[in-house]
A and B are shown apart, each in its own frame.
Chain A
Amino acid sequence: PQSAQVRISVEGMTCKSCVRNIEEHVGKQDGVQSVEVSLEDKEALICYEKAKTSATALRDLIDDMGFEASLVL
């Protein structure tokens, strides 16, 4: 499957539980292959299947979680 990678900057994470929460929640989404969230860099690195989801959909998802998410281009 055609997969792609997106880096999303995530403002508003203060501790490990936020990191785990995002990794679990995003990880459950259809088409998401891997999620790595770094508290220090305030970034999420997500690999996903292009057919099933998109960078903007993943950004909106994190935004809906209550964090300030923006695509790192």
Chain B
Amino acid sequence: RHEFSMEMTCEGCSNAATRVLTKAGGTDIVTDLASKKVLVTSDKSSDELLEILKKTGKAITYVGPVN
């Protein structure tokens, strides 16, 4: 399970993150606008997920694994 921090200003942005992660096969996706956090469970590597999230055009940083 991975945690990212993503520039999200509105619900549309968090929905977009949820949608791209779902399409990438991610599960238990949690987005929190206030803390700009995105959590996802996926067998993909954090780098792959980072690339996918970067396509949203938003600033993304990888925070770390979440157990």
Contact = CB atoms under 8 A, between A and B. Distances in A.
A62 B17 CA distance: 13
B16 interface: yes
Contacts of A68: 19
Interface string B6-41: 000111110111111000000000000000000000
* Chain B binding surface SS class: helix
Interface residues of B, number: 16
Interface residues of A, number: 16
Interface string A61-72: 100111110000
Given A12-B15, A12-B19, A14-B15, A64 B55 contact: yes
Interface of A: 12-15, 17-18, 21-22, 24-25, 61, 64-68
